[in-house]
Amino acid sequence: MRLLVGVCGGIAAYKALETARLAVRAGHAVRVIQTRNSMRFVGRASFAAITGAPVLSSEFEADPTLGAFPGDSLPAYAPISHLALVQNADAYLIAPASAETIAKLAAGIADNLVTSAALAAACPVIVAPAMNGRMYANPATQANLRTLAQRGLTVLAPEEGALASHGEHGLGRLPEPAALLAAVQAAASGARRGPGGGGLAGRHVLVTAGGTREPIDSVRYIGNRSSGRMGLALAAAAAARGATVTCILANVALEPPPGALVRRVETAAELALACRETFPASDLLFMTAAVADFRPLSAAAGKLTKTGPNAPALIELAPTEDVLEQLSAARVPGQVLVGFAAEHGPGGLERARVKLARKQLDAIVVNDVARADIGFDSEYNEATLLTRGGRAVDLPRMPKAELAEALLDHVGGLIGQPLGAGASAGAGD
């Protein structure tokens, strides 16, 4: 998602910084615009460092990146409008939104970049008020917020707690950054799906992510470079659509999305066990984990030394079970299984088609890990979705969070269909 963040003056501006950081970490491309007053609280340099993009604070200031978001290529011509950023955004979050800015938005006043962008926005606009409790409770502020909500803007409720003014307690605190980001993702994916479509409320989505480690001795293992980023992006996107999400994480250092149920595993055997226990209650499985195909036949007790009687000349390997194939064999009608194939170099699509058929999947997502600009530890990915019905959907390079939304758009609708329904229709048809 391309997220534009408008920051107003207020002590809570520091939370906008943390929200921008979380959004970048979740794979979103973020740009920030600030009111002049907001710069008294957090300077441009902080937002620029976190987003990796210039920060604008005036309608009369040229954007060095010509309205582009991080990861996008620069347009060939400079846009005429200072509103190019909001035109390119998928969502516009105003946080903290001061009482003054809220009043201006309600009156349609566009006297700075933050308010002008709001007036020109075609994407979802999310307003997160933060102010003194008495200012928030004032009928003028309340009437303004009602006006914004009636016009279709998403107005977030502030939280109750200690306020900036010494000793004051009340309603007016900006929600925590993770909650802000979740609200933005929900508003943006709701807009993408259109009213009523694509929701996963009442569904259980199981995501495996990361890479298994097969012990050689008590300190060494055979592992792989999977970070778990793609799986976590899918988990976050499914949660934002209302699903109950379980993540089985194999050696993942990144934070799972708030609210997801998490099981942590190390080896392929532990992953297989966790999947066997969780899969029967799941409607949709995203098997993004990189599972070792072989493990050392026996893990040495203690630490092997390079000299001495237990120095290994060779490590004997034994195959692990194919977890996905086993789950597929045990599926009941209505369950949807999506595999992931990280292929290296030419012929990847053909190899993935063979896996799709052998493992009896509904779809398989293929990407080329020979490329350095996508895949493993990157925030970006580019993939082809192959379906049981023989369709190949090219999903061009985009942030992993956006790819997750696209994948859910394509396979979410298959849940509950009789086994093999995707064969004639093709996932996402």
| Residues at the site binding ligand CTP, with contacts judged by CB under 6 A | 268, 287, 289, 291, 293, 320, 322-324, 339-341, 355
Which residue, 53 or 323, has its beta carbon nearer to ligand CTP?
323
Report the residue number, 7 or 341, with the smaller CB distance to ligand CTP.
341
CB 206 within 8 A of CB 279: yes
In angstroms, the CA 273 to CA 66 distance is 51
Helix or strand or coil: residue 231? Answer: helix
Task: Tell me how far, at minimum, the Cβ of 169 lies from ligand CTP, in Å.
Answer: 50
In whole angstroms, the minimum distance from the beta carbon of 39 to ligand CTP comes to 47
Active site residues: 224
- Look-up: residue for tokens 């005429």? 80
The distance of closest approach from Cβ of residue 383 to ligand CTP in the complex, given in angstroms and rounded to an integer, is: 12
* Amino acid at site 91: A
> Which is nearer to ligand CTP, 294 or 380 (by Cβ)?
294
The one-letter code for the residue type at 125 is V
In the complex with ligand CTP, which residue's Cβ is closer, 131 or 287? 287
Quote the least distance from Cβ 429 to ligand CTP, whole Å: 22
CA distances, 397 to each of 128, 134, 384, 412 (Å): 31, 47, 10, 21
Q: Which residue has the tokens 């004051």?
A: 168
SS3 223: coil
In degrees and rounded to multiples of 5, residue 367 shows phi and psi of -135, 160
Where does 241-392 have alpha helices with state H? 268-278, 323-329, 348-358
Burial status of residue 220 (CB atoms within 10 A of its CB: 0-12, 13-18, 19 or more): middle
Of 184 and 404, the one with the shorter C-beta distance to ligand CTP is 404
What is the closest distance, in whole angstroms, from the C-beta atom of residue 106 to ligand CTP in the complex? 50
Are the beta carbons of 362 and 387 closer than 8 angstroms? Answer: yes
